Amino acid sequence: MTSAEQAILVINAGSSSIKFQLFDGEHSLLRGQVDGLGTKPHLSVHDDAGTTLADSALPADDAACHETALGAIVAFLSTATPDIAVRAVGHRVVHGGPDHADPVLIDETLQQALARLEPLAPLHQPHNLAGIRAAQKAFPGTPQIACFDTAFHRGHPRVIDTFALPSAFYDEGVRRYGFHGLSYEFVAGRLCEIAPDVGRGRVIIAHLGNGASMCALRDGKSVSTSMGFSALDGLPMGTRSGQIDPGVLLYLMQERGMDGDEIADLLYHRSGLLGLSGVSSDMRTLEASPDPAARLAIEHFALRIRRETGALAAILGGLDALVFTGGIGEHSARVRSLACADMGWLGIALDADANAAQETRLSPAEAKVAVYRIETDEERMIARQARRLVDA
């Protein structure tokens, strides 16, 4: 078989959707998703040129869960790409714990270990594992490879990853892990292609989407990141609180009588942009809203980005580049402008016209800190990692 006949299928399973992409080397043959699992399932697929290959509702029974949804995807692939065999399936797994710094072949022992990490990433980990189980049934005998969002941040010195708790907690795994590593690794590579000297310097990447975090890099490697033990820490997000005083949680338990499940629901599902605005968790909706609370949510989000930029620059000992990525980072000129406002003391400045035009370089040529907008591609990063492993 030629390389085009043996492709890498990438699966990114969420709570109500399965995103997928089929790669022949670096070439994306097609991408799509089944969303609305269990309610109103819908299949959409496009090729690399953007041509629509499928856009249709599915019978509810054909996508009632991850297993049946993946069955619908396999049925589509067998018709649309009959001559292409899936050589391996790469999976995005949000949490790899302290032990996984590289992609790894999935077996039952690994699945059990990853299931024990579900409390640390309850919005993602259970669904990632459901996607793995579904793919194992759909592609029996095909290598299934886990690629971890936490892996990029492994290797930090203990002083970075520890909390100021008794050391026994660190030994038990209570430490900072960091997330969005697949995105950071891809964007760091693209920055080195665009501006090699800058990419090898002191860089902060802001991955801003429904989930949001920031990462300090030196020579393309993670030095520190805003997310910690769970995907709740750091910046406020679509529905997640971000960093919060632990005393608030004690108050909620002791004075309001809230239990762990109620607090988890508050922090994961009813906070962030949604909680602040009372309008929406979607930045596009907030930017279009005349509600003062929507403006407050946007301004608070940008303020926290500026605060984290300063903190990460202090760890790096200065800054050579700031990169925006993710759905908000790539598309919201307003958020980028607010996030860079009053940051001239650090050498950050935006070219307003370049920012409005969504160009790649957003800063003036003479600016001390180069500011970029780079589109991320986590699925392509997963395909690369999976291919390296099966080729080894």
Where in the sequence numbering do the catalytic residues fall?
A: 149
Taking CA atoms, 337 is separated from 302, 342, 362, in Å, by 9, 10, 10
112 token code pair: 């059990």
- Whether 100 and 128 have beta carbons less than 8 Å apart is answered as no
149 token code pair: 């969002």
Contacts of 223 (CB under 8 A, 6+ apart): 156, 160, 216, 217, 315, 316
124 token code pair: 């993602």
- Whether 81 and 22 have beta carbons less than 8 Å apart is answered as yes
Compute the distance between CA of residue 170 and CA of residue 189 in angstroms, rounded to an integer. 31
The secondary element (H helix, E strand) that includes residue 11 is strand 6-13
Q: Which residues of 108-145 are buried (b: 16+ CB within 10 A; e: fewer)?
A: eebbeebeebbebbbbbbebbbbbbbbbbebbeebbbb
Compute the distance between CA of residue 148 and CA of residue 278 in angstroms, rounded to an integer. 33
- The two beta strands, 144-148 and 321-325, are unpaired
Question: Cα–Cα–Cα angle for 314, 319, 321, nearest 5°?
Answer: 140
41 token code pair: 């399932």
Alpha carbon 75 to chain centroid, angstroms? 28
Compute the distance between CA of residue 281 and CA of residue 237 in angstroms, rounded to an integer. 8
Compute the distance between CA of residue 325 and CA of residue 183 in angstroms, rounded to an integer. 8
Alpha carbon 265 to chain centroid, angstroms? 21
